[in-house]
């Protein structure tokens, strides 16, 4: 009986649909559409009105699509103009703030001393990590007005100095001194300056390569280990930098469950160290992509004769399918607005039974800034660290998280070794003869502050393993 009623309703619905379709065809050839709609039955009027409305939506969409296609080439220009206006406005605000600080010098000095004392830091004090102030007026003005940016620039220009820079930074980080700066106004200005506009578009994605990775291979060769790994080593059983980096490379290979003959995509391949190691030790073929011309040159030389291809390419342009995808130290340059695009691309390019491994710095506390003005200006242009909830959100419906490994403390050990190598080899660097002491102090500040951030556990280092559909029988990770 139920099926009979269903069949009769279906027949009635089909008859009504046919009648409406005939009316719609008639309607398309009439000039007065509204009058024609009124002449139909109530049900037909409703359906025809809906069809007319749908047609108008379709026409509007076509018009908007045409407008977008016309102005799309200009979107980067519009975005750049908006960003320049934001930067100019913030500079004006900071200048006005600086003028106010000039008139309240005594109050500013007392306030800043009070803040530093919360971390046991005494300006011009006796401890190794107490900073020595060479220009008090300039120091107080810069730090109060621009906080971390002012502090970093002040160190570069020798406005202040300290015997134990890492301990100074560590004490400040452990006692959350950044909170004193991250009030409502500065949170807004930081967001507007570094996150409101998409600074990681395809056009802008090459900026960090030009600013940082193209400084010259000689600089990085003197600082890194022989495998040229510019990412966190794995110090579980290692006693030196090279051992730690080889252990990291092997750990990645084992987590990917590689088999001879597999194809691997290495997104952000750097100088080809990982691609070379996987090809030599696991018998796989690797395609490595980078945004740095200097990196690509050296990577091709190092991987010559191996089943490795190095390309200078933005990750968004990759189309091929791979058995495995790995990205080490590159996700920090993707940016939150592009996380969905990144994971859609990796999902598209990964075979159904494949594995994705993401090796990235990240943040787990909401009082730690995801991006910071000094690093943005001098070290990693447009970089934004992922917050720990960003990755599950961006992978929802695309990947299953199989394993999440946090080895953040190991990065503090790695950075100390890089700093030691940089200091020991600086005099022999031809680059050292071309740049001033300000660059040297900038690089020391970058490596030391970064080490303190990981030592204080404010920054994390994650290795996240994902699959598209879940690995049958479960994923057995290694440590």
pLDDT digits (tens, 9 = 90+) for 393-404: 999 999 999 999
Mean pLDDT of 156-162: 97
In DSSP notation, 215-255 reads S-HHHHHHHS-TT---S----SS-SSHHHHHHHHHHHHHHH
Distance CA 232, CA 194 (A): 25
Percent composition of the chain: helix, strand, coil (DSSP 3-state, to 5): 60, 10, 30
Residue 62 pLDDT > 60, yes or no? no
Of residues 38 and 467, the one with the higher pLDDT is 467
Cβ atoms within 10 Å of 460's Cβ, excluding its own: 22
According to the model, what pLDDT value does residue 179 have?
Answer: 74
pLDDT, one tens digit per residue, over 202-239 is 554 445 445 555 566 788 889 999 999 999 999 999 99
Question: What is residue 463's three-state secondary structure?
Answer: strand
pLDDT, one tens digit per residue, over 310-351 is 999 999 999 999 999 999 999 999 988 899 999 999 999 999
Model pTM above 0.85: no
According to the model, what pLDDT value does residue 398 have?
Answer: 97
Distance CA 358, CA 467 (A): 11
According to the model, what pLDDT value does residue 197 have?
Answer: 58
Mean pLDDT of 94-107: 68
Write the Ramachandran bin of 437: left for phi over 0, alpha for psi from -120 to 50, otherwise beta: alpha
Residue 442 pLDDT > 90, yes or no? yes
Distance CA 441, CA 160 (A): 12
Q: How confident is the model at residue 66 (pLDDT cuts 50, 70, 90)?
A: low
Under DSSP, the state recorded for 363 is: B
Range in 14-18, 50-54, 64-68, 168-172 the model is least confident about: 14-18
Distance CA 86, CA 116 (A): 31
Residue 264 pLDDT > 90, yes or no? yes
Mean pLDDT of 62-69: 55
Structural fold of domain 204-467: Rossmann fold (3.40.50)
Q: Do 475 and 465 meet the contact criterion of CB atoms below 8 Å apart?
A: yes
- Beta strands 350-362 and 322-328 are parallel
> What percent of the chain is modeled with pLDDT above 70?
71
Of residues 242 and 16, the one with the higher pLDDT is 242
Average pLDDT, the chain: 82
According to the model, what pLDDT value does residue 218 have?
Answer: 84
According to the model, what pLDDT value does residue 207 have?
Answer: 53
Residue 89 pLDDT > 80, yes or no? no
Range in 165-169, 205-209, 257-261, 412-416 the model is least confident about: 205-209
Distance CA 459, CA 368 (A): 8
Mean pLDDT of 409-415: 98
According to the model, what pLDDT value does residue 37 have?
Answer: 45
CATH code 3.40.50.150 region(s) in the chain: 204-467
Of residues 15 and 191, the one with the higher pLDDT is 191
pLDDT, one tens digit per residue, over 2-58 is 443 434 443 443 444 444 444 444 444 444 444 444 455 555 555 556 555 555 665
Range in 84-98, 188-202, 415-429 the model is least confident about: 188-202
Q: Residue 227: which of 193, 185, 173, 274 has the closest Cα?
A: 274
Sheet holding 263-267, edge to edge: 308-312, 285-290, 263-267, 322-328, 350-362, 460-467, 400-406
According to the model, what pLDDT value does residue 144 have?
Answer: 80
């Amino acid at each position: 009986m139920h099926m009979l009623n269903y069949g009769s309703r279906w027949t009635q619905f089909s008859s009504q649909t046919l009648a409406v379709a005939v009316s719609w065809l008639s309607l398309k050839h009439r000039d007065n559409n509204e009058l024609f709609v009124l002449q139909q039955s109530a049900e037909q009027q409703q359906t025809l009105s809906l069809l007319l409305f749908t047609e108008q939506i379709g026409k509007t969409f076509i018009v908007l699509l045409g407008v977008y296609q016309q102005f799309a080439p200009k979107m980067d220009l519009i975005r750049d103009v908006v960003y320049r206006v934001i930067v100019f406005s913030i500079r004006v605000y900071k200048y006005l703030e600086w003028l106010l600080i000039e008139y309240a010098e005594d109050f500013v000095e007392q306030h800043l001393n009070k803040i530093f004392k919360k971390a046991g830091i005494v300006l011009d004090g006796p401890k190794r990590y107490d900073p020595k102030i060479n220009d008090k007026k300039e120091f107080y003005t810069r730090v109060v007005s621009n906080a971390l940016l002012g502090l970093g620039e002040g160190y570069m220009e020798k406005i202040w100095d300290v015997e134990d820079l890492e301990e100074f930074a560590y004490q400040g980080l452990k006692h959350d001194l950044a909170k004193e700066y991250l009030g409502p106004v500065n949170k807004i200005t930081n967001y507007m300056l570094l996150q409101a506009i998409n600074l990681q578009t395809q056009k802008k994605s090459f900026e960090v390569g030009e600013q940082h990775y193209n400084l010259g291979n000689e600089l990085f060769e003197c600082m890194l280990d022989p495998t040229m790994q510019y990412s966190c080593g794995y110090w579980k059983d290692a006693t030196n930098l090279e051992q730690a980096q080889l252990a990291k490379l092997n750990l990645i290979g084992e987590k990917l469950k590689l088999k001879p003959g597999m194809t691997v995509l290495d997104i952000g391949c750097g100088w080809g160290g990982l691609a070379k190691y996987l090809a030599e030790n696991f018998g796989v073929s690797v395609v490595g992509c980078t945004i740095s011309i200097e990196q690509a040159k050296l990577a091709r030389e190092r991987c010559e004769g191996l089943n490795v291809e190095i390309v200078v390419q933005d990750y968004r342009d990759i189309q091929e399918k791979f058995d495995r995808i790995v990205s080490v130290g590159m996700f920090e340059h993707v940016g939150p607005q592009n996380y969905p695009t990144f994971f859609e691309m990796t999902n598209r390019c990964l075979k159904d039974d494949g594995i994705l491994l993401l090796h990235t710095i990240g943040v787990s506390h909401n009082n730690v800034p995801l991006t910071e003005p000094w690093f943005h200006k001098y070290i990693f242009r447009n970089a934004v660290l992922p917050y720990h909830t960003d990755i599950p959100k961006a992978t929802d419906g695309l990947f299953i998280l199989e394993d999440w490994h946090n080895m953040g403390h190991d990065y503090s050990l790695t950075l100390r070794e890089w700093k030691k190598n940089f200091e020991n080899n600086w005099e022999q660097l031809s680059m050292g003869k071309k740049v001033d002491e300000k660059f040297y102090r900038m690089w020391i500040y970058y490596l030391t502050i970064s080490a303190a951030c990981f030592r204080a556990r404010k920054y994390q280092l994650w290795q996240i393993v994902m699959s598209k559909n879940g690995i049958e029988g479960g994923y057995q990770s290694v440590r």
